Amino acid sequence: MMPAITFIIPGFLPAPAAITAADLPACPYLQKLLARADQRPQSRDSHEYLLAQFGCPADTVAPYAALSHLADRGETRSNVLRADPVHLSAGREGVMLFDNTMLQLQADEAESLAETVRPLLTEFAAELEVAAPERWYLLCEQPIAITTQPLMQVIGRDVSDRLPTGDDRTRCRRLFNEIQMTLHEAPVNQTRERRGQLPVNSLWFWGEGDLPALGTTAFDACFSNDPLAQGLARWRDIPVRSLPANLGELLAQPAAATAQPSLLVLDNRAERFHAYQDAAGWLQFIERFEQDWAQPLYRALRRGQLSSIDILPGDSHYHCRRRHVARFWRRPSAARLTAASG
């Protein structure tokens, strides 16, 4: 059997800036894996790398909305944008954006807020669809000519110079203003503010582009809760399952029992710890990763139960085979976790 596992963990390494080596929990197996693996710099972000692994041309605009909509609804759509609920806060550093990590929006709140926004969309002949409290979609009859910034690239940052550009930018910015005024008066937001919660005071449009013509992929199955990864797997027609809790749960899946399977595991939970510089959340994540994944991965590789492990934690690509485990002269180092690799 001997599966090969590619583990993509966007935003995992290096650690948030406030964390030093002294702050790290014990993670000897993760450090051994990284120290003894072959390493090369990873210039593309995790999602760009993922698209490339599914045969998308390098110059393809990543159609995040179309792919995540395919994952959510099981159907292909053109002219779809993400329209995710956010909170914008004006301060000395600019207009900062906060996503559902901070909002913790409930399903009934999301649907009520969306209903207040829908009458504003007639100019675009568009429908607003709520697939999940944190994932809304703008389904348009015609393309909207804008270029946008992915949500993960603007979380916790000033959005003033990251608003949509392109031929339809003026119409979109006018719509943004109308949405913000409407949401300001929404009863749901007023109730949230009385409870001390952040209101949803804007939507963030992003993810334009139609589904790409995919090439071949080496993966036989995908395991992730990330809508982009799930959408790519559906589009490529390979099995897709939710993120397993640990290596044992992964290897118990039917897809892992086929001949020489190549398994993709994508865990996106670390992204928001980085976006918000959440040191406590990141430290808890690495502690669980060591127990649930790094230790059993290292032991399975040493016993010959895996053919190879590829780990992409954000800053580099680490490739480890069984023979690499014997590289005892490569000493583990906490600095590899707390400083960007070259």
With CA atoms as reference, report the closest residue to 218 among 236, 231, 198: 236
d(CA 319, CA 298): 12
Omega within 30 of 0 (cis) for the link into 14:
yes
pLDDT on residue 341: 41
pLDDT, position 260:
86
Token couple for 10: 């966007």
Main-chain phi, psi angles of 311, to 5 degrees: -120, 125
So what's the pLDDT on residue 58? 73
Q: Report yes or no: 215 and 54 within 8 Å, Cβ to Cβ.
A: yes
Per DSSP (E only), the strands in 37-159 are: 38-41, 80-91, 94-98, 126-132, 135-140
Cα–Cα distance measured from residue 340 to residue 338, given in angstroms and rounded to the nearest whole number: 7
Residue 275 one-letter amino acid: A
Domains of the chain: 4-60+216-338 (3.40.720.10), 64-206 (no CATH)
Contact at 8 Å (CB) between 53 and 236?
no
Cα–Cα distances in Å, from 107 out to 103, 104, 110, 116, 132?
A: 12, 10, 5, 15, 7
Per-residue pLDDT of the chain (342 residues; tens, 9 = 90+): 689 999 999 989 889 888 988 899 999 999 999 999 999 988 788 888 898 898 887 777 789 999 999 999 999 999 999 999 999 999 888 999 999 999 999 999 999 999 999 999 998 899 999 999 999 999 999 999 999 999 999 999 999 999 999 999 999 999 999 999 999 999 999 999 999 999 999 999 999 998 877 778 999 999 999 999 999 999 999 999 999 999 999 999 999 888 889 999 999 999 999 889 999 999 999 999 999 999 999 999 999 999 999 999 987 899 999 899 888 888 888 877 886 443
- What pLDDT score does 340 carry? 44
How many C-beta atoms surround the C-beta of residue 60 within 10 A? 15
Half-sphere exposure of 290 (CA within 13 A, CB side): 16
Q: What per-residue confidence (pLDDT) applies to 167? A: 96
Cβ atoms of residues 236 and 209 within 8 Å: no
